């Protein structure tokens, strides 16, 4: 049985929200809310109410990056200074803490930001090819609800979308 | 490996000047200058130009202060009451000038050293404040942070204009001619120190006090400048410092005794300069 | 009188259309501005070329005043870079949504003024070609830069700040780049396809986006504060009278925010006028920015007074001498001008009538920045010309070569900004949509209650009128 990918475009976020709420309430047997992908022109944090809490691991990587910057930064500076003994200066110690704190602070932020951005690119799947079912209306003002379902469920899903005043339904057979 | 190095030597690497510092000093070259003897003749400054290949910048640039005199004689008319007899209308007094020869004070806690972004200036085991011309990128922060204003910048390439042939033949071959964009300053005639140290090493002995002189000291007609190793307790300069009760690490001198004329410039800034001046005494 | 920050009934298609059309069909005025900027850059480039063929001496810098206008202008541009990212991040964290229509160009301003500022320490070096020695690279000779030097800190701080704020600008722009991609043709389509990194607005992307953006904002606030503190360390860490001031880091940060806010007002008015962004860059938003600027101006004035008072009561003779020289000496006209522009003129921002009058605000914001530039000059030069050693006191007027480079830096900034507004959307489309959407929803009572909730939160009790 072939899989179908169906995207309903809604002109209003409330209707898309209601449609997903119906899916969550198991209106169509065998279609799980976990298969739903929402595509929206703006950020809708409230969608988690019906979509469930889905993970985003960015903060962990941020913490890792910051800790890495902290330890690497200090050790890098201190070890560089400790191998550069020919140049003691101004009566300061070989490893001066005030300046190393300042620089470690900068490196902490640098690596924190770098890890955050990299984990964002990986976590959000950036840089991949866009879905073939992408609609340019999504970047304007419509909200898309994308599901991959069995052929047998396709009609029921489309009916559900229509119930919620869907503007357009796009469909393709998944490979 | 580096980590091991840090952990093993941590306490050593944390020693600042208050804890004795990182160096084991081989020498600590210092100076004592008697202002009573200074007559402001500028011979030292001229000798310095000759010895250290200092560029002559010309009248216009001198007027703009784009000058490089490692040793300058400062004139002050700070005692106007000495000029009672003068009836001249000049802006300067006829009598009562005082002179202050200023060369790099070779501070032990130099403020110019830690601010150089590329570590072009540092403290040598000879107690000298060294300037590495090749490493200098010309950020000029060292000069801005020198309270004595004793660092000079090469604003132009002077090597062609300053010594037109055949004057280039009089250049001292023992040290370089600096190009534009680097900072330079008094080195206590480091080339002479180097020669003396090498000679002593070859003869397997210590450098003897008075074995060599800096060019300013050599040319001073009144022997106002005394130069030597302050680690050697018998050297002339150590004796003078001791006599006038000026010590490294001490920022104020007891002045009750009028015989004690020694002071260091801006001692209160804690820069630990190694040039002691002996105050001028006037007969009033 | 308009009181709402934004017209809540505006159509989303209208937002897209307005912003996208601002990126197309440059008018004659645009090309004239580009030509002027290029001419200014050429002027600076010629001056820099002249300096490098002859020597730094042609700048009429001298012993002991060795920094002059270049470093003053460096601080000016670094300061200018502060408000964009810093304000954007702070306002994002406190959910002040009026930042949304104006933060994009403010962040661009940050990035470009950093790119301008970064040139000055390079230009002012005696041997610019050896600049890379400041970088901490591993060399065979075991030579490192001097990590004790505040200039090396500058190098780290500016690199971190430039990287982070450029990334912050870019990440925040990705959804907008996707909009551009969907509407563009030709080379623009290719460019935006690459830059938008396949953004499709999926819930997964938004979820990661939200967290990333918030985390970056959290990093950028302390970063921005630290960057200007480090720049102030160039002076505060030194031993010179008038520089060795404990209150310098907050003073610099306040000054930075101040000049940045004034620059935001200037650019706000320019963009509003030329791109006809009346719907987005509204008078109430301008008013909010003006109030913020006024508060910062007062903080700056206070810190100024603190500095004077601390110097006066500190009884350090040299520091007092320098301060007194600023008040009465050769620099006094500029010093008093700085105090007038910095502390008196901002009172214009306190009056509603003036705040709502665009031409007045345009002139005032420009003059505030003149004051802030003078402030930086008054920090750098008087201390150098008139410090500890009386023998070294001398004041020489900076040569035209210096002024040309300072002048040209404005052209460089202007050119970068002009290119930006035609290649990237200078108003954040998706965030204006969010702003409109959320403000409209906030009026609907029931919606407001279930707003921003998660599945795991307890269900709200929606009041139903009892029968």
Q: How far is C33 from chain A (nearest CA, A)?
A: 32
What DSSP designation does C428 have?
A: -
Could you tell me which residues come within 8 angstroms of residue C48 by beta carbon, excluding any fewer than 6 positions away?
A: C123, C405
Question: pTM of the full predicted structure?
Answer: 0.92
Q: Report the alpha-carbon distance of residue C231 to residue C150 in Å, rounded.
A: 8
| Closest CB to B156 among C55, C146, C396 | C55
Q: CB distance from C60 to chain B under 8 Å? A: yes
Please give the interface size between A and C, counted as residue pairs whose CB atoms are below 8 Å apart.
185
**Closest Cα in chain A to B106:** A90
User: Which residues in chain A touch residue B129, judged by CB atoms under 8 angstroms apart?
Assistant: none
Q: Which of C87, C10, C44 is nearest to C415 (CA)?
A: C44
User: Residue B165 maps to which CATH number?
Assistant: 3.30.70.20
Q: CB distance from B114 to chain A under 8 Å? A: yes
* φ, ψ for residue B231, nearest 5 deg: -80, -20
Whether residue C77 is contained in a domain is answered as yes
Inter-chain touch A41–C430, beta carbons under 8 Å: yes
Predicted confidence (pLDDT) per residue in C115-174, tens digit: 999 999 999 998 989 999 999 888 888 888 999 899 999 999 999 999 999 999 999 999
pLDDT cut 70: percent of chain C above it:
95
Predicted confidence (pLDDT) per residue in C42-71, tens digit: 999 999 999 999 988 899 999 888 998 999
Q: Report the alpha-carbon distance of residue C114 to residue B34 in Å, rounded.
A: 52
Whether residue B11 is contained in a domain is answered as no
Whether residue C182 is contained in a domain is answered as yes
Q: Is A105 exposed, middle or buried (0-12, 13-18, 19+ CB in 10 A)?
A: buried
User: Residue C276 maps to which CATH number?
Assistant: 1.20.1630.10
Whether residue B201 is contained in a domain is answered as yes
Inter-chain touch A40–C209, beta carbons under 8 Å: no
Residue B256 reports pLDDT greater than 80 = no
Inter-chain touch A84–B119, beta carbons under 8 Å: yes
| Closest CB to C207 among A54, A80, A130 | A54
Q: How far is B167 from chain C (nearest CA, A)?
A: 22
pLDDT cut 90: percent of chain B above it:
50
Q: Which of C226, C219, C255 is nearest to C89 (CA)?
A: C219
Q: Which of A105, A148, A164, A120 is nearest to A3 (CA)?
A: A148
Count the Cβ atoms, other than its own, within 10 Å of residue B247.
13
- Do C405 and C44 meet the contact criterion of CB atoms below 8 Å apart? yes
pLDDT band at residue C458 under the 50/70/90 scheme = low
Predicted confidence (pLDDT) per residue in A57-105, tens digit: 889 999 999 999 999 999 999 888 888 887 777 788 888 888 899 999 9
Domain of B132, in residue numbers? 25-278
Going from the C-alpha of B95 to that of each of B89, B92, B101, B224, C340, the distances in angstroms are: 13, 9, 19, 21, 46
Residue A156 vs residue C360, higher pLDDT: C360
Inter-chain touch B140–C67, beta carbons under 8 Å: yes
Q: CB distance from B16 to chain A under 8 Å? A: yes
User: Which residues in chain B touch residue C388, judged by CB atoms under 8 angstroms apart?
Assistant: 147-149, 266
Going from the C-alpha of C283 to that of each of C2, C5, C101, the distances in angstroms are: 7, 8, 12
Q: CB distance from B67 to chain A under 8 Å? A: no
User: Which residues in chain C touch residue A61, judged by CB atoms under 8 angstroms apart?
Assistant: none
Residue B33 vs residue C186, higher pLDDT: B33
The b/e string for A120-157 (b: 16+ C-beta within 10 A; e otherwise) is beebbebeeeebebbbebbbbbbbbbbbebeeebbeeb
Residue C406 reports pLDDT greater than 90 = yes
* Residues of chain A that touch chain B, judged by Cβ-Cβ distance less than 8 Å: 75, 78-79, 81-97
Q: What is the pLDDT of residue B164?
A: 86
Residue C41 vs residue C441, higher pLDDT: C41
Q: What is the pLDDT of residue C328?
A: 92
Q: How far is C56 from chain A (nearest CA, A)?
A: 27
**Closest Cα in chain C to B158:** C55
Whether residue C193 is contained in a domain is answered as yes
Tokens 């900027």: give the residue.
C37
pLDDT band at residue C453 under the 50/70/90 scheme = low
Whether residue B37 is contained in a domain is answered as yes
| Closest CB to A56 among C16, C179, C208 | C208
Whether residue C457 is contained in a domain is answered as no
Instruction: List chains touching B (3+ CB pairs under 8 A).
Output: A, C
Q: What's the rounded mean pLDDT across residues B126-140?
A: 91
Instruction: List chains touching A (3+ CB pairs under 8 A).
Output: B, C
Residue C463 reports pLDDT greater than 70 = no
Predicted confidence (pLDDT) per residue in B197-211, tens digit: 999 999 999 999 989
- Do B116 and A87 meet the contact criterion of CB atoms below 8 Å apart? no
Inter-chain touch B112–A90, beta carbons under 8 Å: yes
Q: Report the alpha-carbon distance of residue C436 to residue C282 in Å, rounded.
A: 13
pLDDT cut 70: percent of chain B above it:
96
Whether residue B14 is contained in a domain is answered as no
Q: How far is A132 from chain C (nearest CA, A)?
A: 11
Residue A142 reports pLDDT greater than 90 = no
pLDDT band at residue C460 under the 50/70/90 scheme = low
- Do B27 and B127 meet the contact criterion of CB atoms below 8 Å apart? yes
Sorted by where each starts, the structural domains of chain A and their CATH numbers stand as 3-55+133-173 (3.30.70.120), 58-123 (no CATH)
User: Which residues in chain A touch residue C455, judged by CB atoms under 8 angstroms apart?
Assistant: 48-50, 52-53
- Mean pLDDT value across chain A: 84
- Do C17 and C276 meet the contact criterion of CB atoms below 8 Å apart? no
- Do C371 and C340 meet the contact criterion of CB atoms below 8 Å apart? yes
What one-character-per-residue DSSP string does A92-154 give? --SS-HHHHHHHHHHHHHHHHHHHHHHHHHHHTTTTSPPPTT--GGGGTT-EEEEEEEEHHHH
Q: What's the rounded mean pLDDT across residues B87-102?
A: 78
Inter-chain touch B149–C66, beta carbons under 8 Å: no
Q: How far apart are the first and last CA of chain B?
A: 68
Residue B170 reports pLDDT greater than 70 = yes
**Closest Cα in chain C to B57:** C57
**Closest Cα in chain B to C235:** B145
- For the ranges B211-220, B252-261, C92-101, which has the lowest average pLDDT? B252-261
Inter-chain touch A92–B15, beta carbons under 8 Å: no
pLDDT cut 90: percent of chain C above it:
47
User: Which residues in chain A touch residue C144, judged by CB atoms under 8 angstroms apart?
Assistant: 80-81, 83-84
Q: Which of A65, A55, A98, A100 is nearest to A81 (CA)?
A: A100
Q: What's the rounded mean pLDDT across residues B118-125?
A: 90
Whether residue C3 is contained in a domain is answered as no
Q: CB distance from B22 to chain A under 8 Å? A: yes
Inter-chain touch B111–A85, beta carbons under 8 Å: no
What's the number of domains chain C is made of? 1
Whether residue C467 is contained in a domain is answered as no
**Closest Cα in chain B to C383:** B144
User: Which residues in chain A touch residue C181, judged by CB atoms under 8 angstroms apart?
Assistant: 139
What's the number of domains chain B is made of? 1
- The SS3 assignment for C53 reads helix
Q: CB distance from C384 to chain B under 8 Å? A: yes
pLDDT band at residue C467 under the 50/70/90 scheme = very low
Inter-chain touch A79–B6, beta carbons under 8 Å: yes
Inter-chain touch C144–B119, beta carbons under 8 Å: yes
Predicted confidence (pLDDT) per residue in C172-183, tens digit: 999 999 888 888
Please give the interface size between A and B, counted as residue pairs whose CB atoms are below 8 Å apart.
71
Whether residue B182 is contained in a domain is answered as yes
- For the ranges B42-51, C381-390, C408-417, which has the lowest average pLDDT? C381-390
SS (H, E, C) chain B: CHHHHHHHHHHHHCCCHHHCCCCCCCCCEEEEEECCCCCCCCHHHHHHHHHCCCCCCCHHHHHCCCCCCCCEEEEECCCHHHHCCCCCCCCCCCCCCEEEEECCCCCCCCCHHHHCCCCCEEECCCCCEEECCCCCCCCCHHHHCCCCCCCEECCCCCCCCCCCCCHHHHCCCCCCCCCCCCEECCCCCHHHHHHHHHHHHHCCCCCCCCCCCCHHHHHCCCCCEEEEECCCCCCHHHHHHHHCCCCCCCCCCCCCCCCCCEECCCHHHCCCCCEEEECCCCCC
Inter-chain touch B3–A79, beta carbons under 8 Å: yes
| Closest CB to B9 among A82, A88, A91 | A82
Tokens 């230009």: give the residue.
C123
- Do C399 and C59 meet the contact criterion of CB atoms below 8 Å apart? yes
The residues with which C202 forms a beta bridge, in sequence order, are: A39
pLDDT band at residue A175 under the 50/70/90 scheme = low
- Mean pLDDT value across chain C: 88
Q: How far is B198 from chain A (nearest CA, A)?
A: 20
The ipTM estimated for the assembled molecules is 0.91
What DSSP designation does A9 have?
A: E
Whether residue B129 is contained in a domain is answered as yes
Q: What's the rounded mean pLDDT across residues A129-139?
A: 79
Whether residue B185 is contained in a domain is answered as yes
């Amino acid at each position: 049985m072939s899989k179908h990918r169906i995207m309903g475009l809604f002109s209003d976020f409330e209707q898309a929200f209601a449609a997903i709420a119906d899916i969550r309430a198991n209106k169509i047997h065998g279609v799980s809310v976990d298969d739903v992908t929402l595509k929206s022109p703006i950020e809708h944090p409230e969608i988690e109410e019906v979509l469930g809490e889905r993970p985003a691991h960015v903060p962990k990587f941020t913490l890792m990056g910051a800790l890495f910057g902290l330890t690497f930064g200090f050790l890098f500076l201190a070890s560089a200074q400790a191998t550069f003994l020919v140049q003691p200066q101004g009566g300061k110690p070989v490893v001066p803490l005030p300046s190393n704190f300042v620089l470690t602070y900068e490196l902490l932020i640098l690596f924190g930001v770098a890890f955050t951005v990299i984990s964002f690119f990986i976590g959000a799947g950036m840089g991949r090819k866009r879905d073939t079912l992408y609609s340019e209306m999504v970047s304007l003002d419509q909200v898309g609800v994308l599901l991959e379902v069995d052929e047998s469920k396709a009609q029921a899903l489309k009916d559900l979308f229509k119930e919620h005043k869907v503007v357009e339904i796009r469909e393709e057979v998944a490979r | 490996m580096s980590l091991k190095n840090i952990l093993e030597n941590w306490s050593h690497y944390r020693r600042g000047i208050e804890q004795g510092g990182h160096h084991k000093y081989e020498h600590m070259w210092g100076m004592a200058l008697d202002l009573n003897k200074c007559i402001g003749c500028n011979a030292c400054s001229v000798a310095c130009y000759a010895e250290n290949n200092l560029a002559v910048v010309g009248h216009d640039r001198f007027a703009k202060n784009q000058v490089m005199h490692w040793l300058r004689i400062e004139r002050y008319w700070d005692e106007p009451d000495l000029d009672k007899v003068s009836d001249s209308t000049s802006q300067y007094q006829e009598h009562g000038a005082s002179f202050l020869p200023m060369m790099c004070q070779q501070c032990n806690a130099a403020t110019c050293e830690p601010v150089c972004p590329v570590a072009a200036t540092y403290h040598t085991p000879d107690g000298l404040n060294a300037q590495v011309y090749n490493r200098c990128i010309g950020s000029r922060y060292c000069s801005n942070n020198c309270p004595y204003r004793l660092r000079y910048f090469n604003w132009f390439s002077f090597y062609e204009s300053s010594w037109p042939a055949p004057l280039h033949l009089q250049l001292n071959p023992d040290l370089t001619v600096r190009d534009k964009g680097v900072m330079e300053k008094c080195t206590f005639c480091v080339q002479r120190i180097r020669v003396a140290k090498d000679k002593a090493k070859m003869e397997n002995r210590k450098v003897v006090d008075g074995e060599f002189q800096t060019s300013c000291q050599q040319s001073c007609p009144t022997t106002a400048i005394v130069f030597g190793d302050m680690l050697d307790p018998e050297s002339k300069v150590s004796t003078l410092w001791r006599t006038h009760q000026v010590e490294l690490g001490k920022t104020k001198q007891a002045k009750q005794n009028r015989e004690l004329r020694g002071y260091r410039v801006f001692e209160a800034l804690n820069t630990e300069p190694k040039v002691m001046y002996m105050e001028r005494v006037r007969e009033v | 009188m308009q009181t709402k920050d934004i017209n809540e009934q505006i159509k989303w298609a209208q937002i897209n259309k307005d912003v996208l059309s601002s990126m197309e069909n440059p008018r004659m005025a645009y090309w004239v501005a580009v030509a002027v900027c290029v001419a200014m850059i050429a002027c600076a480039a010629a001056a820099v070329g002249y300096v490098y063929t002859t020597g730094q001496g042609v700048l009429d810098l001298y012993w002991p005043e060795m920094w002059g206008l270049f470093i003053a202008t460096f601080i000016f541009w670094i300061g200018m870079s502060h408000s964009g990212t810093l304000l954007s991040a702070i306002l994002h964290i406190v959910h002040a949504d009026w930042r949304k229509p104006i933060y994009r160009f403010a962040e661009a301003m940050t990035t470009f003024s950093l790119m301008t500022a970064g040139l000055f320490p390079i230009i002012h070096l005696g041997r610019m070609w050896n600049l890379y020695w400041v970088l901490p690279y591993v060399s065979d000779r075991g030579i490192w830069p001097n990590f004790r030097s505040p200039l090396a800190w500058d190098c780290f701080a500016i690199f971190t700040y430039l990287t982070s704020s450029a990334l912050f600008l870019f990440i925040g722009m990705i959804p907008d780049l996707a909009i551009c991609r969907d509407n563009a043709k030709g080379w623009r389509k290719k460019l935006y396809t690459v830059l938008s990194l396949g953004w499709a607005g999926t819930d997964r992307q938004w979820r990661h986006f939200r967290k990333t953006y918030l985390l970056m904002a959290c990093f950028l606030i302390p970063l921005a504060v630290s960057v200007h503190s480090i720049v102030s360390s160039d002076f505060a860490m030194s031993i010179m009278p008038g520089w060795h001031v404990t209150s310098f880091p907050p003073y610099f940060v306040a000054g930075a925010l101040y000049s940045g806010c004034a620059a935001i007002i200037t650019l706000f008015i320019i963009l509003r006028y030329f791109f006809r962004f009346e719907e987005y860059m509204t008078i109430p938003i301008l008013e909010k920015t003006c109030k913020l600027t006024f508060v910062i101006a007062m903080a700056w004035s206070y810190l100024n007074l603190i500095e004077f008072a601390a110097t006066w009561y500190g009884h350090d003779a040299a520091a007092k001498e320098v301060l007194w020289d600023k008040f009465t000496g050769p620099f006094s006209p500029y010093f008093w001008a700085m105090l007038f522009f910095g502390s008196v003129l901002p009172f214009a921002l306190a009056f509603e009538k003036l705040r709502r009058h665009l031409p007045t605000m345009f002139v005032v914001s420009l003059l505030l920045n003149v004051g802030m530039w003078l402030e930086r000059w008054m920090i750098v030069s008087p201390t150098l010309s008139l410090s500890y050693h009386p023998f070294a006191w001398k004041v020489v007027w900076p040569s035209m070569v210096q002024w040309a480079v300072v002048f040209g830096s404005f052209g460089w900034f202007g050119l970068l900004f002009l290119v930006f507004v035609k290649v990237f959307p200078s108003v954040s489309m998706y965030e204006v949509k969010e702003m409109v959407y959320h403000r409209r929803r906030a009026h609907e009572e029931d919606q407001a209650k279930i707003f921003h909730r998660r599945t795991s939160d307890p269900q709200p009790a929606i009041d139903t009128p009892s029968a």
